[in-house]
Structure 1
Amino acid sequence: MKTVVIALALIVGTVLSALTMDAFLHSDTLPSNLEDAKALIVESPSQGLIMIETIKFDSVTWQNIQWHNHLMIIRPPSVLSTVAVIFIAGDYKFTQEELSIFRLLALQNKAYVAVLFDIPNQPLFGGLREDWLLSYSFSKFIETGDFSWPALLPMVQSTVVSMNLLHNYVKNMGDKIEGFILTGGSKRGWTTWLTAAMDERVKGIVPIAFDNLNIAEQMQHQLHFWGSFSPSIREYVERGILDDLDNSVKRDLIQYIDPYTYRMDLEMPKFIVVGTNDPYWPIDASKLYVDDLPGYSSMVYAPNAGHGAEVFRVTQAVSSLIHHINTGEELPALSCQSASFDGGARIQPVVEIGDAELNELRLFTSSSPDGDFRKSSFEYEAI
């Protein structure tokens, strides 16, 4: 019997008509195997019985720039999982502690674990990185109307190529996988959402620190909740991306890049990991999308965490998905029933543990005089 801890966080708190990203995803011929991608082994930091190899490959040409990515592949001594895990990451660098986490995840789950680096390739266009790079690419779309410009397109394409190559690698090793679990944080979380909606090989996702589906409504919610946009998204504010979102070109952009557009293709199980103190989004941002998602969707709140989450919560979420997909055991579900009385509210948690064993139920609470929880402290009690 698998044991789980369920944490309960107390939270206060149109599809448009234009071209969509899936129409452009395969506009370029994407490499389907290691040979097509000109893949080369560049590092083999194998440890003991675990095989670890890193390959460098050509993924996609975007705006006449050839993208190169690194894919670290970790194979445990015994492979029993039918799904492999791909962590989507930024620059090609990692610590020994991070490597140990990936190794342990592969060992414990008897699964291939891979890390895709260089999402996005950067710096580009005179030194632009991260949100400055994405906001620049969005501004070029607004200027030109060219749907190839948003940098999320090559980010998704590179992730699709990594699945192609990992499948090819696994086959060459004499092993077999039937699908993938994707995970990544922030812009890589955004990429996780989009890739999952466009590739049926994705069997489960753990997006981290991207609590921003239904983007146009989210931006209005920020203005209502805080009175201004979060300083954390200033790259998009300063470029004017968020001005006049009713503009037809900007509506096309939002539809193109918003995972909410593709929500009906997100039927796979989803653990959505968010820090309660993430400065990017209001604490109740999920209310604008999570109930509209098909299939199993569970919010995993990391108490007192910012734009990121505790590693433990991420690895446990990934392991739970691996176990669920391989065994078919039902995932636990948590919902709340609420009722108002005498100016207050009564909240009753409803826990469906499925095939798991409930170890502990915790109620996390915090308070804020103005609804801004970015610097609040969450405390819990067992219930």
Structure 2
Amino acid sequence: MRLHIICFSIVTVSLFTGCGFRSHRDLHRSPRMSYLDRVTQSPDEDFSFRLAKTHDLGDHAVGYTLELHSQTWRNAEEVSHPLWTHNLQIVCPKQATGQTAMLLISGGSRKDQSDGPLDATLLQLAEATGSVCVLLPNVPNQPLAIIDRDDPQGTQRRYEDDLIAQSWVRAIDERDPDWVVQTAMVKSAIAAMDATQAFLNTEEAGSIQIDDFVVTGASKRGWTTWLTAATDDRIRAIMPIVIDTFNMPETLQHHWGAYGHWSPAIADYTSRDLFKAFETRRGNLVRNNVDPYLYRERFTMPKFLLNSAGDQYFLPDSTSLYLDHLPGETRLRYMPNTDHDLDFDGDAQPQGHQSATESLVGFYKAVENDRKLPKLSWTHAIEIDLPEKRARGTSRHAHLSVKCDTRPTRVTLWQAYNPDGRDFRQSTIGNAWVPTPLTPTSDNRAAGMIDMPERGFRAYFIEAIFPVRGQQESVTFTTPVFVVPDELPYKDKPIR
């Protein structure tokens, strides 16, 4: 009786490759010049900024709040607030010598806060990185009413996914890609970079030269991070957080095949039947401007994808649908026992494990200072027995091993088990991720063996913490999340 081993993927961080255990039916190339390109590269006559406040931060830094008008999106007969306004915050450590800045794209709502204090997270990042850090709030500009037949008086104030989804409805109904609000979200990020460079280069700000940016943001702002990187060549690196909207048709089929229904978290889209529209020409008018996968050839810059293993929006193994199609160097980190809110303070992580913020700082400092980042490669294999051997009760296993080019300070195998379904949302299984320490060999390899469940599904990944030569801050990278059995229980159920 022979034991057959099938290797699902062998992947390196510097160039993701694999033996392709899943067929990718949608391999469209990025549009040579999409509407997203045209609108973001066109100047807006209402772009302006002014210094609203200077913040005295003592001997170590100075801060500024700029009142930024990033653009006019639509008109007053179509939306409640066409002029997009932001209180752009900038912190400049006085010891900063680099010409790279971090741009943090944030959410929030439309408020006049020009006289308010600087954001605490912005101050924390500037102090930790010693670099110019910029906060762009209110992306998208919200609340915003879309005036249409459902709301002729413009009284329904929309936020977040509700706003985005309704903008897609108008884009599809009117065959007008300008209604896709992500185009305006990207344009606001570009305007923030324009304003930052122009203001800091003034004598009033000390004639600071900023040449490029490392851009980050979470959720919809992570989405904006990807699309901004696709359209602006000032992006040195990106750190998108808790966003997995790559290869949307495949990702959505994967979602349905795992759950047999849509997660309530994405109800703003499913209640409008928007995902079905991607099968139509009109729906592709939206997808062409929002799916980063269509622009993947442009993502040659360093990338750090920071995701939750228990996200209520996205499946933890969705990266299998696009990871090996990304050019350049890509690092990945999944955080266990978190949901879409992630864990920026480290409260949900065991002692000795990094918070999300610490991971971001470590990656950013390495990129800014041209330091070599550690590389993590992995091999994944599943034992497949003949039917008669399985019938005798012989258990099967999966094997996940990693190889590092730098000696890791800690290696951990994380596993979560759900006996009832292929569902690893934290809202479903709670804090079910269990760590197992792994000891690396002398040549910096480590391996874990995962039991194949008799019923249900098991998810797992390996996490490694590395030092970075030349800096105190460490970095944490992981393999993708794998699931066994590797099957979708509802793949044949018609999507509704």
The within-5 A match list for 1:243-262 is 243-262=276-295
Report deviation, 1:97: 11
Query: In the TM superposition, what is the alpha-carbon distance from 1:244 to its structure 2 partner?
Result: 4.4
Distance 1:337 1:98, change over 3 A: farther
Q: For residues 144-197 of structure 1, give each alpha carbon's deviation from its aligned partner in whole angstroms, at most 9, with x where no partner exists.
A: 111111000110001000001111122222222221011111111100010011
Counterpart residue type for residue 364 of structure 1:
W
Q: Which residue of 2 aligns with 1:346?
A: 399
1:226-305 equivalences in 2 (<5 Å):
226-305=259-338
What is the Cα deviation at residue 102 of structure 1?
2.5
Name which of structure 1's ranges 49-58 and 136-145 shifts more when overlaid on structure 2: 49-58
Aligned partners of 1:203 and 1:269 also within 8 Å: yes
Point out 4+ residue stretches in structure 1 off by more than 6 angstroms: none
Within the candidate set 40, 44, 47, 1:25 is matched to 40
For residues 331-376 of structure 1, give each alpha carbon's deviation from its aligned partner in whole angstroms, at most 9, with x where no partner exists.
12223212233532222122232xxx52111111111222111133
From 158, 175, 187, give the equivalent of 2:208. 175
Q: Give me the whole-angstrom Cα distance separating, in 1, the residues matched to 2:102 and 2:200.
A: 12
Q: Which residue number corresponds to residue 333 of structure 1?
A: 375
Larger deviation: 343-352 or 114-123?
343-352
Percent identical across equivalent pairs?
29
Change (3 A) 1:308 1:97: farther
Residue 80 of structure 1 is matched in structure 2 by 97
- Please give the secondary structure, in 2, of the residue aligned with 1:148: helix
What SS does structure 2 have at the residue aligned with 1:304?
coil
The offset of 1:17, in angstroms, is: 8.3
Distance 2:62 2:118 in 1: 16
Pair 1:200-2:210 in alignment: no
Q: Distance in 1 between matches of 2:41 and 2:29?
A: 22
Q: Secondary structure at the match of 1:278?
A: coil
What is the RMSD computed on CA atoms of the aligned residues?
A: 2.3
SS of match in other structure, 2:103: strand
Letter in 1 for 2:108: D
Whole-angstrom distance in 2 between the partners of 1:66 and 1:29:
11
Choose which of 353, 357, 360 in structure 1 pairs with 2:410.
360
Give distance in 2, aligned partners of 1:52 and 1:378: 41
Following superposition, the deviation at residue 319 of structure 1 comes to: 2.2
Q: Which residue of structure 2 lines up, in the alignment, with residue 379 of structure 1?
A: 434
Match among 54, 58, 68 for residue 48 of structure 1: 58
Structure-to-structure mapping, 1:42-191, within 5 angstroms: 43-49=53-59, 50-64=61-75, 65-91=82-108, 99-125=119-145, 126-172=156-202, 173-191=206-224
For 2:68, give the aligned amino acid: F
Residue 7 of structure 1 corresponds to: none
Larger Rg computed on CA atoms: 2
CA shift at 1:98, angstroms?
8.8
Instruction: Give distance in 1, aligned partners of 2:29 and 2:168.
Output: 18
- Indicate how the Cα distance of structure 1 residues 298 and 247 shifts in structure 2: closer, same or farther if over 3 A, else same: same
Structure 1 gaps, min length 5: 1-12
Is the contact between residue 246 and residue 291 of structure 2 (CA under 8 Å) also seen in structure 1? Answer: yes
Equivalent residue for 1:221?
Answer: 254
For the residues of structure 1 that align with 2:254 and 2:35, how far apart are their CA atoms? 24
Instruction: Call closer, same or farther: CA 1:339–1:38 in 2, change over 3 Å.
Output: closer
Q: Is the 8 A contact 2:103 2:213 kept in 1?
A: yes
1:8 corresponds to which residue? none
Q: Is the aligned partner of 1:318 residue 2:360?
A: yes
Q: TM (normalized to structure 1)? A: 0.88
TM-score by length of 2: 0.69
Equivalent in the alignment of 1:10:
none
SS at match of 2:127: helix
Contact 1:44 1:52 in 2 (8 A): yes
Deviation string, structure 1 residues 83-106 (Cα, Å, up to 9, x no partner): 101110112589x99944432321
Q: What's 2:18 paired with? A: none
Q: Which moved more, 1:366-375 or 1:256-265?
A: 366-375
The answer to which of 56-65 and 168-177 deviates more is 168-177
Displacement, 1:242?
Answer: 1.4
Shift of residue 54, structure 1, vs aligned partner: 1.2
Contact 1:230/1:279, CA 8 A, preserved across alignment: yes
Distance 1:17 1:340 in 2: 34
| 1:108 to partner: Cα distance | 3.1
Q: 1:311 Cα shift? A: 1.6
Amino acid at match of 2:229: A
Q: 1:228 to 1:101 in 2, by over 3 A?
A: same
Pick closer, same or farther for the CA change 1:345–1:120 going to 2, 3 Å: same
Larger relative contact order, structure 1 or 2 (CA cutoff 8 Å, min sep 6): 1
Inter-partner Cα distance in structure 1 for 2:403 and 2:293: 27
Distance 2:330 2:141 in 1: 30
Whether 1:211 and 2:249 are equivalent positions in the alignment is no
Rounded Cα–Cα distance in structure 2 between residues aligned with 1:154 and 1:224: 33
